[in-house]
Chain A
Amino acid sequence: MAEPKKTPMDAKTTTHKHQSKSRKTTMGILFLLIAAVIWFVFVRPLDAGALTTYTMVPGGSTVSMADWVFPTAKVLSALAIICAVAGAYQLIRGFQNLTNAILGLVAVLFIFSFLSWASSGGTLNLAGLLRVTVIRAVPLTLGAMAGILCERSGTVNIAIEGMMLIAAFVSTVIASMTNLWIGMLSGILAGALVAFIHGTLTIKYKVDHTISGTVINIFATGITSFLSSKFIQKTEFQYLNEPGMFPQVDIPVLSKIPFIGPILFSHNLYVYAMFILVPLLTVALFSTRWGLRFRSVGEHPKAADTLGIQVNRTRYMGVILGGMMAGFAGTYFTLGSSGRFDELMTAGRGFISLAAMIFGNYYPFGAMGAGLLFGFFDSLAAKASILKVPVPSDFLGMLPYIATIVVLAGVVGKSNAPAAEGKAYEKESL
């Protein structure tokens, strides 16, 4: 046979990657705007001699490191110039495929400028901010991985929130009666059980996935709130709401690295679990036979079926593994973070997990990146309300959510969801 024919499809795929003209211009203007904000809002009102001090050791840590002090106005001016140059270059020549990377860089510079300006004349604990970022990222990343397990195999799971909540409740009660490890295990099992219900409804009875998920969320909210206010919040049942917490474990050597050590290697088990599970799931999904089959039923179940792969069995496995992951994430709230159960303590983290999953384009590392980003804004909102920023703290509390919207709408654009997610598979229809 001759050379493969050049068809219009080839042409399409090559030109597809180029940025559209309007996006190029928008990005250029955005960079210039950011430069302008840094210059006019941050630099101009500052005293020329004002200093910014960053503390490089989180509170409670014994690893020592000197503070980082610099003259605010000078550094910020330099940053404004960098942003302006990037904007000008983008408008004239364009960064092409590097645009998103440059956008990320400019965003980081902007946030850094904001922090430096806000803490000018005072001090800000940068290490503490980043340490909390990592901690806040944990439930989001674990939840997002629960979503990845479900959706990569074809089931939409918006019930992660509900699964987390139920697991949090169950783990608290069981751990209070036995010990932490059995509590955690029971939380994981509770997640699996709820997921099995979701799977039965969607796979066997072909209920719409969103409806099934919504029902589970409402049920989870209702039952945990009821049981909580009726029993474990009352003093006579107080003993059922005292599970304790997994202790912080310092990793030898690594936790002694200045700055990085306390931020990354001085946590409890959940943070380390995140660091292990993310690469583990990546390898499992993309390098093993199990993963190939797993993803195939989420993309094109009929094709998988014609090759002898059991579609519905694989989907059950996906949902239940996802449920276990969500359950594990749920136990973080009680056994890893607060040491007790409170009504609605997941506070929408399950939904933000879904956003993190989509933002991460259904990849575990992407999800962790998104989780860290949202975690950062979460952490920032808490810190910024302490700083003397002339913005009401309610608005700062919105930061993580606004960041979610901006990121989903503006930067990610269209993500590549598995093609067959949310669609029941019926054998006898051709």
Chain B
Amino acid sequence: MAPLLELKGITKRFPGVLANDHIDLTLEKGEIHALLGENGAGKTTLMNILYGLYSPDEGEIFVNGQKVAIQGPTDAIKAGIGMVHQHFMLIPVFTVTENIMLGEEDVKVGGFLDRKKAAQKIMRISDQYKLNINPNAYIRDLPVGAQQRVEIVKILFREAEILIMDEPSAVLTPQEVDELFKIMRILVDQGKSIIFITHKLREVMDCADRITVIRGGKVVGSTTPKEADTKKLAAMMVGREVELKVKKTKAKPGNAILQVEDLKVLNNQEQFAVDGVSFEVREGEVLGIAGVQGNGQTELVRALTGLLTPAEGKIKILGKDTTKEKPRFITELGSAHIPEDRQKDGLILAFPVSENLVLNSYQHEPFSKGIRLQFDEIDRNGKQLVDKFDIRTPGINTPVSNLSGGNQQKVIVAREFSRPIKLLIASQPTRGLDVGSIEYIHKRVMEKRDAGCAILLVSTELDEIIQLSDRIAVMYRGKILDILNIEDASKEILGLLMAGIKPSEEMKHKVTKEEQLITT
């Protein structure tokens, strides 16, 4: 019998790039097929071709053995293909029902919407696959996990047999990811088939039936979770051996560099996003701040770096009170900041690489004399840092917007690390990066720690927090619920704290050596 879906020799060229190079792929009924590859490997391009958003330069698509021409999303929907996009395609001001029925509306005579009928259909689907959707809620009021379930219902509403899920776990908390995998299992058990795009090795091992690895636009191999292990997959994905675990020596903490006392910060709705937080970071240690996104981490980092003025409390860096100081003062004290949103807060996208590399030092010699910038020096500095930090760019005058996410992040790291710093505030330093880049950034951060820098690491990736931190603080609704030493931390306890539950004392004691080995 023919496979449910077959792609043959799909090729797509963008100006200067061969995004897909004769890719073959099959999907059997009732399986979860993982498409694994680094960012920029061509996974999303391939799926956009399958969904009709791009048209391929070469290649054919077969559904149930029949050749199909997919010229637009409408054709894909007709062929039974649905896609959950990485960035949700939902309209915040519409209700769940309106979002789902859009384009496929139930109407009464005269084109009037039959919201009731659509809502009933949504409830049936929601019950059948245990998706727990309220059809009358507005999207803007739903947490991300629920929005994703709406996207899934949207596809099922159109009676799709093939579900493409593009990096579905990128926006979810660890608990939500587990829920998602359960849902995916229910879907395939009831006869649907899923193509699951990801670059996260652990997820592939957890939920895929079959794995195809893509690198540089080509299929480099297929395997199953039973035959493979994460190390082998990582090597296939990156094209070389990768250290998945950072080598970590015991921390030798020294004096306190950053001291925070009873800090309160308002968000733009005038609520306390950070609500009485106290901690300190000492030289030579990493303090990790764990927590589900939106629990005040963003505001905390903005306050520490001078981008927001706290409402109450005190911040001291190297013994100086910086509570009301401006960002430049804090930077020049010797603190570095890797911002959460690299494209918005970390870089000026339209500026060339070389200029982005001096954004925090252009006002000093040798980069400027008087009011004139010294472009020779800026270029020399650019070349030097591009080499030293292995930034892959066509040249130092290329606008930084043309670089891949990993290389953009390297530009920020190069800029911040090329000065003598005593404090590093890193917020989501590896968000959206591929395995190779993550490895690189983690190594650099640990080097800084061992060189005696104090590091505050904010991340929603629990794995990252556990790997790098010496102590872990968990934030929940603006408060720090607990600060644990890494020896006392386990994924279970951190997960509970992230959900706002303080574990009992016995539970803490139950953490054995084995559990730690599994988690780290």
Residues of A within 8 A of B (CB): 1, 3-5, 7-13, 15-16, 20-21, 287-290, 292-293, 295-296, 299-300, 302-309, 416, 419, 427-428, 430
Give chain A residues whose Cβ lies under 8 Å from the Cβ of B269. Answer: 12, 15-16
Known contacts being A5-B143, A290-B111, is A306 close to B51, with CB within 8 Å?
Answer: yes
B102–A309 CB distance below 8 A: yes
With most chain B CB atoms within 10 A of its CB, the pick from A288, A299, A307, A430 is: A307
Least CB distance from B117 to A in Å reads 13
With most chain B CB atoms within 10 A of its CB, the pick from A3, A296, A306, A430 is: A306
Quick check: is B53 within 8 A (CB to CB) of the other chain? yes
Which listed residue (A9, A21, A296, A303) contacts B143, Cβ 8 A?
A9
Quick check: is B477 within 8 A (CB to CB) of the other chain? yes
A8–B271 CB distance below 8 A: no
B130–A4 CB distance below 8 A: no
Interface size class of B (residues with CB under 8 A): 35 or more
B54–A428 CB distance below 8 A: yes
B113–A302 CB distance below 8 A: no
Quick check: is B472 within 8 A (CB to CB) of the other chain? no
Given contacts A289-B107, A309-B102, 10 further A-B contacts (CB under 8 A): A1-B179, A7-B294, A8-B295, A9-B143, A10-B141, A15-B269, A288-B113, A292-B102, A300-B89, A430-B44
B182–A1 CB distance below 8 A: yes
Give chain A residues whose Cβ lies under 8 Å from the Cβ of B91. Answer: 296, 299-300, 303, 419
Q: Is the interface of A mostly helix, strand, loop or mixed?
A: helix
Cα separation A419 to B92 with both chains bound (whole Å): 9
Cα separation A287 to B140 with both chains bound (whole Å): 20
With most chain B CB atoms within 10 A of its CB, the pick from A4, A296, A428 is: A4
Least CB distance from A427 to B in Å reads 7
B499–A308 CB distance below 8 A: no
A302–B477 CB distance below 8 A: no
Q: Mark B82-111, 1 if CB is under 8 A from A, else 0.
A: 010100011111100011011111010011
Known contacts being A1-B179, A292-B102, A309-B102, is A10 close to B93, with CB within 8 Å?
Answer: no
Within 8 A of A (CB), among B488-519: 499
Cα separation A290 to B294 with both chains bound (whole Å): 37
Quick check: is B145 within 8 A (CB to CB) of the other chain? yes
B83–A306 CB distance below 8 A: yes
With most chain A CB atoms within 10 A of its CB, the pick from B77, B102, B499 is: B102
Within 8 A of A (CB), among B52-81: 53-54, 72-74, 77
Q: Mark B133-171, 1 if CB is under 8 A from A, else 0.
A: 000000011110110000000000000000000000000
Give chain A residues whose Cβ lies under 8 Å from the Cβ of B102. Answer: 292-293, 296, 303-304, 307, 309
Give chain B residues whose Cβ lies under 8 Å from the Cβ of A288. Answer: 107, 110-113
Give chain B residues whose Cβ lies under 8 Å from the Cβ of A430. Answer: 44, 48, 53
B143–A4 CB distance below 8 A: yes
Give chain A residues whose Cβ lies under 8 Å from the Cβ of B206. Answer: none
Cα separation A296 to B130 with both chains bound (whole Å): 28
Least CB distance from B290 to A in Å reads 15
Sorted nearest first, the 5 A-B pairs with minimum C-beta distance are A307-B103, A308-B74, A303-B89, A7-B143, A289-B105
